[in-house]
Amino acid sequence: MTVSDIHGGTAAPFEKTDEKAVSVLVAEDDPMFRAMLTMWLGRWGYYPLITTTGTQAWEILEAPGAPKLAIFDWMMPGMDGPELCRRLRSRGASHYTYVLLLTAKTDKHDLVAGLQAGADDFLTKPFDANELQARLRAGRRILQLQENLIAAQDHLRFQATHDPLTGIWNRAGILDFLNRELSRISRVPHALSVMMADIDHFKGINDTYGHEIGDVVLCDVAKRLQGAVRAYDAAGRHGGEEFLIISPELDAKGLPNFAERLRTRIAGTPVFTSAGPIRVTVSIGASALNDNESGMITADALLRAADTALYKAKAEGRNCVRLAATRAAVPVLQTQAKTAGA
């Protein structure tokens, strides 16, 4: 059941007519209070989503796009307000739902029980419209603070795992991706390929055009690599002018063509800079772990194998791909024909 499944006299379709409106889930079985809440919320610019049972409210809360503001009556058919709060707080949702509990109870022990169940605030029936509006505004402020905190956390997380110049994974982030893939392989065996791509003669670019142009080249190469890999691959800056590409489900058979496609993506067109077009090429060293070798290799061994292959590509003229195979956790370099255009 989705939010839009609730229709008729007990609910309204979940469709915002005003992009600035804030949806409020109302679970209230009393017709008089339900009518009052619908009228007031509409006047204040809220979009009320009305239900008559706790069970119905829970189905809406479980659906995608559920409101973050909720008003629950304490006593309802199917599931009461405190039980709704308990379920809501125990599910571990990524976003917070602010709950205002309506009740005719005035005993302190009941109010404490409601708060312990997970309610954020109380309003005692019969309630004043101005007080309800003020409490909803307080709830919106709390939700806004949470959104700001989540955004700040996401920003810090991104900064910790991404290269500030190119915007792709940094060394720590890409190595963490590799280790997570190897951990997944130990549970579900599958192939995995690792490629190291190094910009050829990058020092000469910096010396000739300056570091600002060198940064433009780095960003362009990163963008091309990112655009050439698959959605479930990962590309990161391993350090300096060296990039690391991790490709799950790519075995030794498919690796040569894949790596060659990355090489030609870089060499195919020059990088256009304020100093003019600059022809840029990369050398690529790659290693593959086939699905029958899972659990037999470490991240360090895969990286060493790719690095050894990269060194061979550099030694044999650059702008080419060289492969290294891994067998029983021992990297063994394979001799490859030099790529055309090297």
Catalytic residues: 241
Tokens 């061994």, residue located: 301
Reduce the secondary structure of 192-229 to three states and give it as a string: EEEEEEEECCHHHHHHHHCHHHHHHHHHHHHHHHHHHC
Nearest to 189 by CA among 146, 266, 263, 249: 249
Q: Which of 78, 36, 71 has the alpha carbon at shortest distance from 55?
A: 78
**121-124 and 22-27 strand pairing:** unpaired
CB atoms near residue 82 (< 10 Å): 22
Q: What gap in Å lies between CA 190 and CA 211, rounded to an integer?
A: 41
User: What b/e readout covers 58-70, taking b as 16+ CB neighbours within 10 angstroms?
Assistant: bbbbeeeebbbbb
